[in-house]
Structure 1
Amino acid sequence: MTENYQQQLIEKFKNRSAKVAILGMGYVGLPLAVVFAEAGFEVTGIDPVESKVEALNRGESYILDVPQEQVQRLVEQGRLKATTDYAALQEADAVSICVPTPLRKTGDPDLSYIVSAAEGLAPFAHPGMVIVLESSTYPGTTRELVLPALCAQPGLEIGDNIFLAFSPERVDPGRKDWTTYNTPKVLGGITPRCTEVAAAWYGAALQTVVPVSSTEVAEMAKLLENTFRMINIGLVNELAIMCNRLKVDVWEVIEAAATKPFGFMKFTPGPGLGGHCIPIDPLYLSWKLKSLNYTARFIELASEINTNMPRFVVGKVQDALNDHRKPLRDSKILVIGAAYKPDVDDLRESPALDVIHLLREKGALVSYHDPYIPTIEHNDYHLESVTDLMAAVREADCVVIITNHSVYDYPALLEQARLIVDTRNALGKLGRNHPKVVRL
């Protein structure tokens, strides 16, 4: 019977007759759904947010990286649709779970979305189904949280008539060179048969699949990738603080070091970490290891440094205003860029949120501009992006560049501003030794 279910599924993937479902239609789920639909599969997206479901069924995209025309075409062709009803899983041969995995305010992992997805899926799981968890989380999550929900259903045997695997999402929003389609896809199953079936599914739509021996290896691989980045960003952020004390230009130091053709990888400092992975994923690993009486010291230290960068930036703003004989309180501060990285509409964990909060806490009159983020709703404030950028620049006592979107005319900003704190070296050589500019 095992061979029957296994081979039947593999054949369905080969001829693109399998029905695919994606749980969670956000920054990960929608691009993945589009890739499967483009490969010829019939895809149903399942999401509890009715506005997303309605938009998709109208053929509208709400993710910057997914073109509207593409979604509209796939919907019109009948290859992509959406619903809020888990019952749609009854017809699905393959399910990918792409739900958020944020941190709680206490710093502990919030696994409620995965638990909810597993509980919602389980009653509709059936023989001849493959399930892949994509949500970034700690090693062991697939086996400890998703597997028991499936095993509790009568008649289901993992690796026999139903198959479970983990494949970490590697989406880097805003990139055109590496996308969901061509970024190599690491994948590990609960059993070897689970790996084989899941790899056959993903291999029918994605350019490269990299099978590994277990779900834990696949889970840990994602955490290694993001821990590597987090620690190196923490290192270069601390270098920026040290260079500030030494009165050395950190940007010139980095450019000089980057001329070495081996043994060095260029990282740049900034106002803090943002996004859906790098500030969060390593802390999942650290949390898990605490339960094993081990302290992940590199992770904890890097997190401490990166978390304090918004305060360092506010200190630079305060010192810059002081040098111009102005107090921070009641000064007009214009924050340029609110998204967590350039040229995306993603505000998740953006350091701009903390910088704005800290500036307001010290009595500054803060406004912001971001062409991709029309409004900000944070814990203690609501702001709308200014409509006339250059008028706001001229009016501000200090302009703080947080996110270096490519659409900005930086020479014009420099010309019109009274004072600029540039946390991203967005002004480049224009800002070096310029009397109006303070760099990180």
Structure 2
Amino acid sequence: MPADLAVIGLGHLGLPLAQAAVAAGIPTLGYKTGPEGGSLTPAELRRMLSGGFRPAGNPAELGRVRTAVICAPTPRGADGGLDLSQVEAAARTLAAQLRPHTTVILESPVHPGTTEEFLRPLLEEGSGLRAGRDFHLAYSPSRVDPGNRDFGPANTPKVIGGLTPACTESAAAFYGRLTDKVVRARGPREAETVQLLETNYRHVNIALVNEMAVLCHDLGVDLWDVIRCAETKPFGFQAFRPGPGVGGHGIPQDLTGHTTRSLRMVELAQQVNSHMPRYVIQRAATLLNEHGKSARAARVLLLGVTYKPDLADQQGTPAHEIALRLMELGASVSYHDPHIPAWSVLGRPVPRADSLYEAAADADLTILLQQHRTYDLQGLSVKAQLLLDTRGATPTGAAHRL
């Protein structure tokens, strides 16, 4: 069966798109752009293969589809900006095979203007075709939320901004097969800026509540009770919760170096959020001291080292920095995570606790970094000598909360 769609990049953005397309009955080709973090269980892979998914190893196969979506990762580069090297590689590969009337859509997180100023020239030079005339070109911000059981591709609206109105409509026709609602932006720049706003909104609000966590601890105020009460307001407030740091694939963008204007609030939010692992270490050391122990040679157990609950994804997890700083203080660090069978920090393997309750009872301090569903927090609070809860997940009074 010939493929109708090519998903270029099979990481945390591309795989969910490919799964949604196959579930909608669209024969789909998957093309890897490099080492990528997405993963499928054997059962999920079997379902996709039986539903019309086919991994592609030959770039020539990209020239036989009607729609190609670039989902290559754009990690932060050495200069702090987005690294577009995998997007560039994907574009050059696709351009060499691009045929007239194909719809090309970029979903990778990028700066505003990237679709027109970076992607378009690569596709046109490599193909000899002209965007908006010979092929359609559009941008659509990815709205993947791994592990979210309430919102998936079907009930999450897709924003689309095309180079021309015809480009927008062609992309809308494709996404209309996957989702209940398509939202048309004025153009690619507006659609790209939607992704910028949504990502920065998350980071700025997490930074606010992280600062509130530090303030409330100093004041002796129960922040978790404050949030519980505040979120009953039916308008003008959305609850965010503090934590040991901000993980995930969505990188906050302040546009410094990309434009003459930077987003000062985003820059400040990054500073606040990047400080949280150090604050966790400060709280941990204080707790140990209050109980007559030193961080040096203390046995510290870290619970949950992924960036989201109930997932194996470790992208940007604050657990790495927290473990490293504990080691630098001379602590003996171990971990437990039902989703991570082996874990290393800067190439140093971290011992894994096989028996959770025994490890918690033996540790001088247990730090809950991620709230996996399998954790019995009431039982852990009884077993642990000292428990620092950075997620506010334990029963009131059962642990020291962030």
Scaled to the shorter chain, the TM-score interval is over 0.9
CA RMSD between the two structures: 2.0
Question: 1:266 corresponds to which letter in structure 2?
Answer: A
Q: How does 1:5-24 map to 2 (within 5 A)?
A: 19-24=4-9
State the shift of 1:332 in Å: 0.6
1:48–1:84 Cα contact (<8 Å) kept: no
2:33–2:89 Cα contact (<8 Å) kept: no
Question: 2:394 corresponds to which letter in structure 1?
Answer: L
| Greater displacement, 291-300 / 214-223 | 291-300
Question: 1:424 corresponds to which letter in structure 2?
Answer: R
The total of aligned residue pairs comes to 402
Greater share of helix: 1
1:39 pairs with 19, 24, 27, which one? 24
* Structure 1 residue 211 corresponds to structure 2 residue 178: no
Render the CA deviation track for 1:266-314: whole Å, top value 9, x for unaligned.
111111101111xx1x22xx13x54432231100111100000000000
Render the CA deviation track for 1:217-256: whole Å, top value 9, x for unaligned.
1110111112111111100100111112222222122223
Q: Which residue is equivalent to 1:439?
A: 401
* Structure 1 residue 195 corresponds to structure 2 residue 168: yes
Q: Which residue is equivalent to 1:62?
A: 39
Aligned-partner Cα distance in 2 for 1:439–1:51:
35
Aligned-partner Cα distance in 1 for 2:102–2:140:
16
* Structure 1 residue 232 corresponds to structure 2 residue 209: no
| Percent of pairs with identical residues | 40
Distance 1:403 1:90, change over 3 A: same
Q: Which residue is equivalent to 1:411?
A: 378
2:234 pairs with 261, 267, 273, which one? 261
2:130 pairs with 153, 157, 161, which one? 157
Aligned-partner Cα distance in 2 for 1:272–1:321:
21
2:49 pairs with 47, 61, 75, which one? 75
Question: 2:169 corresponds to which letter in structure 1?
Answer: E
SS in 1 for 2:96: helix
* Structure 1 residue 29 corresponds to structure 2 residue 14: yes
Distance 1:404 1:178, change over 3 A: same
1:111 pairs with 69, 79, 84, which one? 84
Distance 1:140 1:51, change over 3 A: closer
2:215 pairs with 242, 247, 250, which one? 242
2:324 pairs with 357, 360, 366, which one? 357
State the shift of 1:410 in Å: 0.7
Distance 1:314 1:105, change over 3 A: farther
2:3–2:27 Cα contact (<8 Å) kept: yes
| Greater displacement, 23-32 / 167-176 | 23-32
State the shift of 1:263 in Å: 2.0
Question: 1:183 corresponds to which letter in structure 2?
Answer: T
2:159–2:185 Cα contact (<8 Å) kept: yes
Aligned-partner Cα distance in 2 for 1:402–1:215:
38
Give the structure-2-normalised TM-score. Answer: 0.95
| Greater displacement, 322-331 / 384-393 | 384-393
Aligned-partner Cα distance in 2 for 1:132–1:293:
28
Distance 1:294 1:151, change over 3 A: same
1:332–1:364 Cα contact (<8 Å) kept: yes
Q: Which residue is equivalent to 2:120?
A: 147
1:34–1:71 Cα contact (<8 Å) kept: no
Aligned-partner Cα distance in 2 for 1:21–1:311:
43
Q: Which residue is equivalent to 1:398?
A: 365
Q: Which residue is equivalent to 1:337?
A: 304
1:22–1:29 Cα contact (<8 Å) kept: yes
| Greater displacement, 405-414 / 383-392 | 383-392
The unaligned stretches of length 5 or more in structure 1 are 1-15, 53-60, 432-436
Aligned-partner Cα distance in 2 for 1:155–1:50:
29
| Greater displacement, 380-389 / 358-367 | 380-389
2:74–2:84 Cα contact (<8 Å) kept: yes
SS in 2 for 1:232: helix
SS in 2 for 1:399: strand
Aligned-partner Cα distance in 1 for 2:35–2:293:
49
